């Protein structure tokens, strides 16, 4: 046992640290033999070390700390989203209420109040945002501003809050508890991104959506799906209540959902003319660049497992 997490999650985390150690040693050997610095690859791995250590601390202390941590990630993602998207001066108070929605949404997740969790942002914030904008009296750009704010909340807050709700699900159904479900979701989402990137670099020739993300290739997508299908089959019995067949279906949802989340955020960045959402994470860009896949995989995986087992 590590802190408040099960033995299964402890061993899974140990496996991640082993992969990181192997990657670090591999880059060191490549630098020594080739004389190249592999700066980008080294920065990515160093950032992964930091992110994994922070994630480990967040889930090991307590579910409450984990949910607060995820709410903070959501806050940073929404903040980055607003920094990329031009906003109207008249909407400053509306944006304030949009930020207030973050702790409220994650509170519903923390207490497991599914009814309010599932409608608070899609219904109540959907109504509040344009109503508050009307009171400001500014009509120019009204539709674009209202749609942008609500879409940002849905993507960076509502979608990501599904990851937090996994921690509020009953522990008696799953031997690894909510932390096991969260680890399964986050690990496979990120592993899928790395696998698609690696297979694409090695064998990629035919872009899937060349106008949006020319580096996303059919070979990378297929290779990533196959690789992570195997990973899901391997770890699902220890971290989730899913059968092997259900785990493969979950893996397909995560693999395809992760790809779609990535290219949708890429489309937004291309539309507004930015390469990365920020520079907070060396080698990775901003928070949005790191959680873009989770914006799709978190709700898809949550509702899949919630329907089957909860």
- Separation CA 218–CA 225 (nearest Å): 11
If one compares 136 and 296, the residue with the highest pLDDT of the two is 296
Supply the pLDDT for residue 286: 75
Provide the mean pLDDT of the chain.
84
Q: Any idea of the CA torsion for 92, 98, 103, 106, to the nearest 10 degrees?
A: -160
Tell me the per-residue pLDDT of 252-282, one tens digit each, with 9 for 90 and over.
888 889 888 888 888 888 887 776 555 565 5
Under a CB-based contact definition with an 8 Å cutoff, are residues 287 and 280 in contact? yes
239 three-state secondary structure: helix
Supply the pLDDT for residue 74: 94
Angle between helices 7-34 and 177-203 (to 10 degrees): 30
Supply the pLDDT for residue 235: 86
Tell me the per-residue pLDDT of 191-236, one tens digit each, with 9 for 90 and over.
887 777 777 777 767 777 877 777 778 888 888 788 878 888 788 8
Under a CB-based contact definition with an 8 Å cutoff, are residues 74 and 54 in contact? no
Angle (CA) 252 257 261, round 5°: 160
**Can you tell me the mean pLDDT for 76-103?**
88
Supply the pLDDT for residue 285: 64
User: Which residue, among 226, 183, 198, has the nearest Cα to 16 in the 3D structure?
Assistant: 183
User: With b meaning 16 or more CB within 10 Å and e meaning fewer, what string describes 189-207?
Assistant: bbbbbbbbbebbeeebeeb
31 Cβ contact list (under 8 Å, min separation 6): 37, 38, 42
Model confidence, pTM = 0.89
User: Which residue, among 189, 12, 190, 18, has the nearest Cα to 26 in the 3D structure?
Assistant: 18
For 261, the token pair is: 């989340």
How far from 257 is each of 147, 221, 236, 249, 275, CA to CA, in Å? 23, 11, 18, 12, 21
Percent of the chain that is helix, strand, coil (3-state, to 5): 80, 0, 20
How far from 112 is each of 9, 118, 134, CA to CA, in Å? 22, 11, 33
As a whole-number percent, the residues of the chain with pLDDT over 70 amount to: 92
Query: Rg (Cα) of the chain, in Å, rounded?
Result: 20
217 three-state secondary structure: strand
As a whole-number percent, the residues of the chain with pLDDT over 90 amount to: 29
Of 57-71, 196-210, 289-303, the poorest mean pLDDT is in: 196-210
- Separation CA 14–CA 99 (nearest Å): 36
Supply the pLDDT for residue 73: 93
Confidence of residue 68 (pLDDT cuts 50, 70, 90): very high
Residue 34: Cβ within 10 Å count:
9
Supply the pLDDT for residue 206: 78
Indicate if the pLDDT at residue 3 is higher than 60. no
Helix (H) / strand (E) element for 104: namely helix 92-111
286 three-state secondary structure: coil
Supply the pLDDT for residue 277: 57
Under a CB-based contact definition with an 8 Å cutoff, are residues 269 and 206 in contact? no
Supply the pLDDT for residue 92: 84
**Can you tell me the mean pLDDT for 27-41?**
71
Of 52-66, 84-98, 111-125, 283-297, the poorest mean pLDDT is in: 283-297
Tell me the per-residue pLDDT of 122-169, one tens digit each, with 9 for 90 and over.
999 999 999 988 887 778 888 888 999 999 999 999 999 999 999 999
Confidence of residue 38 (pLDDT cuts 50, 70, 90): low
**Can you tell me the mean pLDDT for 69-84?**
92
- Burial (CB count within 10 angstroms: exposed 0-12, middle 13-18, buried 19+), residue 234: exposed
Confidence of residue 304 (pLDDT cuts 50, 70, 90): very high
């Amino acid at each position: 046992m590590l802190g408040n997490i099960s033995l299964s999650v402890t061993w899974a985390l140990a496996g991640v640290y082993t992969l990181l150690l192997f990657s670090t040693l591999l880059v060191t050997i490549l630098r020594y033999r080739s004389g190249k610095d592999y700066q980008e690859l080294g920065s990515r791995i160093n950032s992964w070390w930091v992110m994994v250590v922070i994630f480990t601390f967040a889930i090991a202390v307590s579910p409450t700390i984990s949910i607060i941590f995820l709410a903070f990630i959501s806050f940073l993602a929404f903040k980055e989203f607003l920094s990329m998207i031009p906003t109207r001066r008249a909407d400053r108070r509306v944006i304030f209420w949009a930020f207030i929605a973050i702790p409220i949404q994650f509170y519903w997740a923390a207490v497991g109040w599914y009814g309010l969790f599932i409608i608070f942002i899609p219904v109540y914030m959907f109504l509040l945002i344009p109503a508050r904008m009307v009171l400001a009296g500014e009509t120019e750009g009204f539709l674009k501003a209202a749609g942008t704010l609500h879409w940002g909340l849905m993507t960076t807050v509502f979608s990501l809050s599904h990851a937090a709700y996994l921690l509020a699900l009953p522990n008696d159904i799953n031997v690894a508890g909510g932390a096991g479900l969260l680890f399964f979701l986050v690990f496979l989402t990120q592993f899928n991104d790395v696998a698609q990137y690696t297979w694409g670099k090695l064998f990629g020739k035919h872009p899937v959506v060349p106008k949006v993300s020319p580096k996303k290739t059919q070979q990378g997508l297929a290779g990533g799906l196959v690789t992570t299908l195997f990973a899901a089959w391997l770890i699902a019995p220890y971290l989730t209540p899913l059968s092997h067949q259900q785990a493969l279906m979950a893996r397909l949802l995560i693999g395809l959902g992760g790809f779609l989340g990535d290219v949708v955020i890429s489309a937004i960045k291309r539309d507004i003319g930015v390469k990365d959402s920020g520079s907070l994470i060396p080698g990775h860009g901003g928070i949005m660049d790191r959680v873009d896949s989770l914006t799709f995989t978190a709700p898809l995986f949550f509702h899949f497992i919630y329907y089957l087992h909860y």
